[in-house]
Each structure stands twice: as structure tokens, then as C-alpha cells.
């Protein structure tokens, strides 16, 4: 009796499984037909839209800053997984992003290829997030799509799901009208972990026999329904109007340039430079950190980019200053390129020193999860009570880190458009100011941020000899003054 029960149960489960697989395929086939893509091998479409500068909002509760794209063209070849995306942002230079399979590159102003090996996987994934790429990916041999239904978009919608590249779950929601209305996935991000990434497709129109929607992309969440709003960035891309669409265009399959084929992701490079006794600039990449030795501990200013960079910087700090723990990590502002290493320092046992306005967001960043796609140390080996919020010191207008050997003063920069809650560090004995994104030694002409640094140094009456940038090289104050007057 028992055996018979189990065999009947197994048989009915198997039948349910194959029925689901079959109906997923038939739903996909019907959707492909409705979208006019039965014979589609490549596509090129042009139009106008916008992109959001992800991770660069003015304050954590605001949306990603929007850049208008009056001219946008994308060409995709599905068989070779080639994509070429070209746009000219309003008041900016042309951007061209390319991928074929495992190889990604961009074009410089002269049209020469610039390898971007680290961007290949996401660009390849993005092909599968387009309306036509999703249908093709889900119908590809071995995709084994699953299917659930639910009440959404005013009726019974179907969610088809498959795993891309053995790693990324991609869900496509087919609305009651039989059109693909949303494609969602999660991508690894050094600040928020498995970052929510979705495209919403509405207002389909037929151009040359193929259906193309309005594109509307979210990256990360907007918790705007909460008060106070902690995380506000989400709008990442939109294609509002379509001026041209062509199916099966010639030359959509890209050729990978030789320089791109041989390029590899470069290892993290760390180079340190002594600024004063016990003060080091730890650079070697696009974003630097500054290490300051105290009597029995170390303070690091800035945890940029990602965990790999931060672990290399932490190792260098311990080489320069052996046997003293990194007790404080000071972060200048919440932009993602300056924040991606924060969790590595939290794991290391450092207290986070930040402007009080960014603390709720940083708490969310340190707690956020899951971190399954690219786990970091904080997610794998969290220290005790790391998410309770005890590991923060907040700055309002001024905060001082000091012992008998050293003083570091932190000030909030006032009247700055770049970001809210920006901190600069001042070492009174060494007459050094450390700042991010206000002034770089490589800047051509003074901008509003450089002017605001000048105004704040005057307001605070700081006696400065050296300006140290998180970007660029340290410069004497006299050079900064000259730079400002040359721009007048
Ligand atoms: Zn910034
Ligand atoms: Zn920066």
C-alpha cells in the first residue's frame, strides 16, 4: 500500500513537471508570435531616452541623477551574443559600449577599442533582459524554464523563469494580453550585494513587423513609500520614443578586436606615498585612501570601489603600520564608487565615521542582503552585532579624532551641489586637507565643486599647505590658489 502510494505520487509529480515544461514552451511560443519575432536573428533600434547615473544621487533618499539621451541606438545579434549600444548624452561625448560573448569593450574619441573585460558578463546578461533576448534565452536548448502564474497587470499573468550562465535567475512576466511586460534579475554589486535589476516593458508598437515597447529600467530599490525614505535610487534607463527599428540587419555580429581578445581584468594595484610622518596616501588605482597613524591604532580615510581594492589597501596599511588595528574608517560621501569597500573595513573591525545624514543608508548597506552572487567577507563571516548600528560615529558640522600624537578634524562641506553630507579631513599639525571629488590635480578648469572647497577652507580658516585628493596627486595649496585664479 505504502509503495503504491509513493509510486502514484511520483508519477503524478512527474506529469505535473512535464506539463509545466510543455506549457512554458507553448506560452513562450505564443509570446514570440505576438511579438513578431519568429524569424528574428538580429535587431537594431534607435530613439531617445535617458539614463540614470547609478550610485551618484545627491543624497541617499533621492533618485539616480538623470541624463537625457537625445540620440540612442542599439544593435543586437542574438546568435553570437553581440550588442552595440551608442548614445550621445546631452552636453556630453558619444558613448559606445560593445560586447560579443565573453569580450567587452568601448570606443574612445578616436574610435579605437578600449578593452573592458570586467563589463562582459553584465553586458551579455543585458541581451537576455531585452524583450526578444528573454524569449530567445528562455526557449534556448537546456534553459529548462519554469512557470508560475499570479494575478498581476489586471488579470492572470505568467512568470517564466530560467537561470542564465549557471548563475543569474531571470524572470519574465507575460501579461494577460500575452506580451512580455517585465524582465527581472539580480546582479552582484559591491555596495548592495545582489542588486535588483528590472526592465519594465509597456506601450508596445509594431515597427516593420516586430513589436518594440517603451523601455523603463530600475536598478536597486526605491523605498519611497517609507518615511523617512532611506534608499531612493532606482531609475537607471528609459527609451521613451522609437524612431527606427530594423530586423535582421547586416553586420550585427561584431568582430572582437585583437587588443580586446588578449585583455584580462588587471590585478588590483596599490602604491603608497608618505605624505608626512605617519601619514600615507595609499593609491595606485583610480581612487585613493589615506592612512593616518595614531598612538595605538590607525585611521583610514575612504573605502572606495570594492572589496578587492579594500583588502589590498588594508594589507598595505598593515605593512606600513604594523601591529596597530584600523580602528576608524572615515568616508567622505555616499557615492557608490567611494563606498564599495566600506563592508571590508566593517569586517576588519573598524568603526564607520560618516556624516549623520548618511548613517541610515550606511546601516542599510552594511545589513543589506542577500549576497549570494558574489559573497563578501562581511556576508560570509559577519562579526558579532555588526548590524545593530553600534559601529557608527556621526559627524554634524565638526568631529575630531585625536590622541596625544595626532589630530584629524572632520568638517561638513557647506553649499555643495555634488552631494549632501560631504566630509573633508584636516590634519592641523601637518597642514594637510584630504578631500574627494572637490578638486583633482588633473582638473582643467575650476568648477563649482572646487569653488566650494575654496569657500569652505576660507569659512573654516584652515591653515593648509597641501591638498590631498582621493583622485589625482597631492598638490601644494599655492597651486590650488593659482588654479582657481586662472579660471577667473
Ligand atoms: Zn562623488
Ligand atoms: Zn570620486
Residues 233 and 151 in one domain: yes
Could you tell me if residue 323 is inside a domain?
Answer: yes
Q: What angle do CA 169, 174, 180 make, to 5 degrees?
A: 85
Could you tell me if residue 2 is inside a domain?
Answer: no
Residue 433 — left, alpha, or beta (φ > 0 → left; ψ -120 to 50 → alpha)? beta
What confidence score (pLDDT) does residue 5 get? 47
Q: What's the 462 CA to ligand 2 centre distance in angstroms?
A: 23
Q: What's the 195 CA to ligand 2 centre distance in angstroms?
A: 21
Average pLDDT across the chain, whole number: 94
Ligand nearest to the CA of 334: 1
Residue 293 — left, alpha, or beta (φ > 0 → left; ψ -120 to 50 → alpha)? beta
Ligand nearest to the CA of 439: 2
Residues 241 and 379 in one domain: no
Mean pLDDT of 51-80: 97
**Cβ atoms < 10 Å from Cβ of 410:** 22
pLDDT digits (tens, 9 = 90+) for 441-457: 999 999 999 999 999 99
Domain termination site, one of 207, 241, 261: 261
- For residue 121, which of 142, 98, 103 has the smallest C-alpha distance? 103
Q: List Cα–Cα distances, 264 to 102, 118, 123, in angstroms.
A: 11, 8, 16
CATH number of the domain within which 280 lies: 3.60.15.10
Q: What's the 136 CA to ligand 1 centre distance in angstroms?
A: 39
CATH number of the domain within which 77 lies: 2.50.20.10
SS3 255: coil
- DSSP 8-state assignment for residue 154: T
Residues 393 and 427 in one domain: yes
Domain termination site, one of 233, 261, 289: 261
Could you tell me if residue 222 is inside a domain?
Answer: yes
Q: What's the 431 CA to ligand 1 centre distance in angstroms?
A: 24
Q: What's the 333 CA to ligand 1 centre distance in angstroms?
A: 7
- DSSP 8-state assignment for residue 398: E
Q: What's the 440 CA to ligand 2 centre distance in angstroms?
A: 9
pLDDT digits (tens, 9 = 90+) for 10-41: 444 444 445 566 699 999 999 999 999 989 99
Domain termination site, one of 232, 261, 290: 261
What confidence score (pLDDT) does residue 114 get? 98
Sheet holding 407-412, edge to edge: 398-402, 407-412, 423-427, 432-435, 466-469, 475-476
Q: What's the 359 CA to ligand 1 centre distance in angstroms?
A: 17
Give CA–CA dist 140/78, Å, rounded: 11
- Ion ligand 1: residue ranges with CB closer than 5 A: 335, 437
Q: What's the 445 CA to ligand 1 centre distance in angstroms?
A: 18
* 396 class by beta-carbon count within 10 Å (0-12 exposed, 13-18 middle, 19+ buried): exposed
Could you tell me if residue 266 is inside a domain?
Answer: no
The number of distinct structural domains making up the chain is 2
**The three cell numbers locating residue 172:** 519574465
Ligand nearest to the CA of 422: 1
- What contacts 413, CB < 8 A, 6 or more positions away? 422, 423, 424, 435, 438, 452, 453, 456
Total number of residues shown for the chain: 488
Sign of CA pseudo-dihedral 376, 377, 381, 386: negative
Residues 99 and 187 in one domain: yes
3-state SS track over 76-143 = EECCCCEEEEEEECCCCCCEEEEEECCEEEEECCCCCEEECHHHHHHHHHHHHHCHHHHHHHHHCCCC
pLDDT digits (tens, 9 = 90+) for 393-442: 999 999 999 999 999 999 999 999 999 999 999 999 999 999 999 999 99
- Is the confidence at residue 8, as pLDDT, over 60? no
Q: List Cα–Cα distances, 14 to 27, 165, 411, in angstroms.
A: 20, 26, 66
Sign of CA pseudo-dihedral 334, 338, 340, 341: negative
**The three cell numbers locating residue 153:** 497587470
Q: What's the 241 CA to ligand 1 centre distance in angstroms?
A: 31
Q: What angle do CA 436, 451, 416 make, to 5 degrees?
A: 60
Q: What's the 215 CA to ligand 2 centre distance in angstroms?
A: 29
Q: What's the 479 CA to ligand 2 centre distance in angstroms?
A: 20
Residues 99 and 237 in one domain: yes
Contact 453, 486 (CB under 8 A): no
* 109 class by beta-carbon count within 10 Å (0-12 exposed, 13-18 middle, 19+ buried): exposed
pLDDT digits (tens, 9 = 90+) for 158-167: 999 999 999 9
Ligand nearest to the CA of 288: 2
Q: What's the 418 CA to ligand 2 centre distance in angstroms?
A: 10
Mean pLDDT of 360-385: 90
Confidence of residue 389 (pLDDT cuts 50, 70, 90): confident
What confidence score (pLDDT) does residue 6 get? 46
Q: What's the 152 CA to ligand 2 centre distance in angstroms?
A: 41
Q: What's the 338 CA to ligand 2 centre distance in angstroms?
A: 6
Contact 208, 245 (CB under 8 A): yes
What confidence score (pLDDT) does residue 20 get? 63
Residue 153 — left, alpha, or beta (φ > 0 → left; ψ -120 to 50 → alpha)? left
pLDDT digits (tens, 9 = 90+) for 91-148: 899 999 999 999 999 999 999 999 999 999 999 999 999 999 999 999 999 999 999 9
Contact 292, 279 (CB under 8 A): yes
Find the distance separating the first CA and the last CA of the chain, reported in whole Å. Answer: 93
Domain limits at 202?
18-261
Amino acid at each position: 500500500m505504502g509503495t503504491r502510494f509513493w509510486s502514484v505520487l511520483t508519477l503524478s509529480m512527474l506529469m505535473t513537471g512535464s506539463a509545466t515544461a510543455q506549457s512554458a514552451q507553448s506560452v513562450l511560443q505564443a509570446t514570440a508570435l505576438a511579438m513578431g519575432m519568429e524569424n528574428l536573428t538580429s535587431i537594431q533600434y534607435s530613439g531617445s531616452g535617458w539614463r540614470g547615473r547609478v550610485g551618484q544621487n545627491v543624497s541617499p533618499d533621492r533618485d539616480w541623477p538623470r541624463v537625457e539621451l537625445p540620440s540612442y541606438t542599439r544593435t543586437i545579434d542574438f546568435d553570437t551574443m553581440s550588442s552595440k549600444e551608442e548614445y550621445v548624452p546631452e552636453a556630453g561625448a558619444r558613448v559606445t559600449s560593445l560586447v560579443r560573448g565573453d569580450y567587452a569593450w568601448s570606443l574612445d574619441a578616436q574610435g579605437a577599442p578600449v578593452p573592458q573585460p570586467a563589463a562582459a558578463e553584465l553586458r551579455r546578461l543585458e541581451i537576455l533582459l531585452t524583450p526578444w533576448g528573454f524569449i530567445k534565452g528562455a526557449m534556448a536548448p537546456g534553459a529548462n524554464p519554469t512557470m508560475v502564474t499570479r494575478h498581476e497587470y489586471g488579470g492572470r499573468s505568467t512568470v517564466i523563469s530560467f537561470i542564465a550562465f549557471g548563475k543569474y535567475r531571470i524572470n519574465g512576466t507575460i501579461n494577460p494580453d500575452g506580451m512580455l511586460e517585465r524582465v527581472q534579475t539580480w546582479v552582484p554589486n559591491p555596495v548592495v550585494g545582489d542588486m535588483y535589476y528590472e526592465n519594465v516593458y509597456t506601450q508596445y508598437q509594431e515597427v516593420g513587423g516586430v513589436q518594440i515597447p517603451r523601455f523603463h529600467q530600475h536598478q536597486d530599490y526605491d523605498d519611497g513609500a517609507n518615511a523617512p525614505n532611506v534608499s531612493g535610487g532606482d531609475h537607471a534607463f528609459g527609451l521613451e520614443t522609437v524612431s527606427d527599428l530594423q530586423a535582421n540587419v547586416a553586420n550585427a555580429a561584431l568582430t572582437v578586436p585583437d587588443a580586446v581578445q588578449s585583455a584580462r581584468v588587471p590585478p588590483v594595484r596599490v602604491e603608497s606615498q608618505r605624505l608626512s610622518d605617519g601619514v600615507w596616501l595609499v593609491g595606485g588605482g583610480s581612487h585613493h585612501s589615506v592612512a593616518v597613524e595614531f598612538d595605538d591604532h590607525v585611521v583610514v580615510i575612504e573605502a572606495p570601489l570594492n572589496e578587492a581594492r579594500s583588502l589590498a589597501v588594508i594589507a598595505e596599511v598593515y605593512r606600513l603600520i604594523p601591529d596597530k588595528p584600523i580602528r576608524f574608517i572615515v568616508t567622505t560621501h555616499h557615492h557608490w564608487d567611494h563606498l564599495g569597500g566600506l563592508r571590508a573595513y566593517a569586517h576588519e573591525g573598524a568603526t564607520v565615521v560618516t556624516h549623520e545624514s548618511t548613517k541610515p543608508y550606511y546601516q542599510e548597506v552594511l545589513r543589506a542582503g542577500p549576497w549570494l552572487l558574489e559573497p563578501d567577507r562581511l556576508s560570509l563571516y559577519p562579526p558579532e552585532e555588526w548590524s545593530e548600528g553600534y559601529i557608527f560615529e556621526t559627524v554634524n558640522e565638526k568631529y575630531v579624532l585625536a590622541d596625544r600624537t595626532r589630530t584629524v578634524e572632520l568638517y561638513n562641506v557647506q553649499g555643495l551641489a555634488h552631494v549632501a553630507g560631504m566630509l573633508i579631513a584636516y590634519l592641523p599639525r601637518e597642514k594637510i586637507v584630504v578631500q574627494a571629488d572637490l578638486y583633482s590635480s588633473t582638473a582643467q578648469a575650476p568648477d563649482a565643486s572646487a569653488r566650494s572647497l575654496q569657500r569652505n577652507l576660507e569659512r573654516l580658516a584652515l591653515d593648509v599647505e597641501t591638498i590631498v585628493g582621493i583622485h589625482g596627486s597631492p598638490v601644494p595649496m599655492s597651486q590650488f590658489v593659482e588654479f582657481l585664479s586662472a579660471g577667473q
